[in-house]
Amino acid sequence: MLRILSFCLVLASFALGVPVAKSRQKVLLISFDGFRWDYDRDVYTPNLDTMARDGVKARYVTPPYLTITTPTHFTLLTGRYIENHGVIHNMWFNVSTGEKKPYYQTQFVNEWWDNGTLPIWITAQRQGLKAGSLHFPGTASSYQGEVAMVRDVEPRFYNYKNETAWRENTDKVMGWFRDQDLDFVSMYFGEPDSTGHKYGPDSPQRREMVKQIDRTVGYIRDSAERHGLTDRLNIIMTADHGMTTVYRNGLVEEIVLSKIPGFSFSDLSFHLVDFGPSGMLLPKPGKLDKVYNALKGSHPHLHVYKKEEMPERLHFAKNARILPIILWSDPGYVINGYLPVQFHKGEHGFDNQEMDMKPFFRAVGPAFQKNLEVGPFETVNIYPLMCHILGIKPEINDGHLNATKHMLASAATTQGEFISG
């Protein structure tokens, strides 16, 4: 009798033009900050290896330039290059007052984030889905007056290395999916970035942290199974950027702007330097050419561009927040202002074409093929992929589903055929 009733309901649905309900797929986007594409090559990573066999592994992915945490994470959420989404730096700044806010405080400067581009949380919610975020950059902000339905912002001075907290957060997120029926969650882990900075990407400490991440990958998948989510949950793991070793201690001639003949900080109204291998300068009125000419060609490993001359491939020019002069150094070098003050053994922020800046990528779940390794693609393409799996129409973005659709299982149950780009 029940079979007959079900069959009649299906026939009625077709007759009325109403789609038959399907089990909606869910997406968990996970970022392990600073996880370089090759970090699994010198460490035994059984859980990452199993995830690759059960799903998809990319050789590497290419983040947008500038290859630092906040801007590249907002690209993952929006599918837009940094010049288009406008979250151009880890730090909020005011060129009139000279004020700068560090990474954590910038999370709470709403107008820095709410700049006309909507993250996937808001788009999903506007189309009837439920979204959440844990610790992901941008979580604390509202967008056109809306926030992620469920959100968890890490406290100040949070210990990003605590493996016990990682497991607690994992179970919390899986509970959101199961108990609150969320469709999409973004989840952030602050490692191995901090360890790579402090000890260097080739250090034993970094290798130990990758082992901790691998254990956590296994725990994430086990938790999904314990919460009864395996047949509906698609897990995408990636990172914002990679990491490279910094040269110093007399090994190289360091880049120190104050020592460059013809250059003076007195010619600047505002600057962002001393934050790794990249910088931006705002010369005083009438001083732009003087500053530019003094710096251009001043060091063999320093690249100096006027904003309008930036290489088009970097997509880092067409935004009012980007300052008139942009600097970046070659891998291994950092840019110092008045004197060397940077002591990290590892850094990022370099040209996104440098291999050490490339992150890793894994994906597993009912929407994905199994045991598939694919070639490289840009991280702007992850956004339209997620929208496709969720069955939502994406906002205007710079990605293309064509770049990733070969990863999808031919029989995957998705709720839409929306293709961007």
3-class state of residue 225 by DSSP: helix
Question: Mapped to the 3 state alphabet, what secondary structure does 299-351 carry?
Answer: CCCEEEEEHHHCCHHHCCCCCCCCCCEEEEECCCCCEECCCCCCCCCEECCCC
Return the exposure string of 193-202: e unless at least 16 CB atoms fall within 10 Å of the residue's CB, then b: bbbbbebbbe
Q: Which CATH number fits domain 255-343: 3.40.50.300, 3.30.1360.180, 3.30.300.30, 1.10.10.10?
A: 3.30.1360.180
Q: How do residues 141-197 score in pLDDT, each as one tens digit? A: 999 999 999 999 999 999 999 999 999 999 999 999 999 999 999 999 999 999 999
- Cα–Cα distance between 354 and 118 in angstroms, integer? 29
- Region 388-411: mean pLDDT is 93
Catalytic member of 69, 70, 123, 139: 69
Q: CB count, 10 Å around CB of 309?
A: 11
> What pTM does this model have?
0.92
Question: What is the per-residue pLDDT for 9?
Answer: 39
Q: What is the pLDDT of residues 7-19, one digit of tens each?
A: 443 344 333 333 3
From residue 57, alpha-carbon distances to 51, 76, 81, 212, 264 in Å are 8, 17, 23, 20, 48
Higher pLDDT, 317 or 340: 317
Residue range 257-274: average pLDDT? 96
Place of tokens 């067409």: 318
Tens digit of each residue's pLDDT (9 = 90 or more) over 195-216: 999 999 999 999 999 999 999 9
The DSSP code for 64 is P
Question: Across 192-340, where does the E strand assignment appear?
Answer: 233-238, 244-245, 255-256, 268-272, 278-283, 302-306, 325-329, 335-336
Those residues with Cβ within 8 angstroms of residue 29's Cβ, 6 or more apart along the chain or in another chain: 76, 136, 184, 185, 186, 187, 236, 238, 382, 386
What would the mean pLDDT of 391-419 be, rounded to a whole number?
79
Q: Where are the domains of the chain?
A: 26-246+353-407, 255-343
| Residue 365 confidence (pLDDT) | 98
**Cis status, amide bond into 66, omega within 30 of 0:** yes
Give the mean pLDDT of 252-277.
95
Distance between CA atoms of residues 226 and 404, nearest Å: 29
Q: If you average pLDDT over residues 102-112, what whole number do you get?
A: 97
CATH architecture of 26-246+353-407: 3-Layer(aba) Sandwich (3.40)
CA 122 to chain centre: 17
Closest CA to 364 of 409, 414, 394: 409
Task: Please report how many Cα atoms fall inside a 13 Å half-sphere around the Cα of residue 361, on the Cβ side.
Answer: 23
Give, in degrees to the nearest 5, the angle at Cα 337 between 251 and 86: 110
Burial of 249-287, coded b for 16+ CB within 10 Å and e otherwise, reads: eeeeebbebeeeeebeeebbebbbbbbbbbbbbbbeeeb
Tell me: the pLDDT tens digits for 307-331? 999 999 999 999 999 999 999 999 9
User: Is-catalytic flag, 69?
Assistant: yes
* Burial of 156 from C-beta contacts in 10 A (0-12 / 13-18 / 19+): exposed
Position 415 pLDDT exceeds 90: no
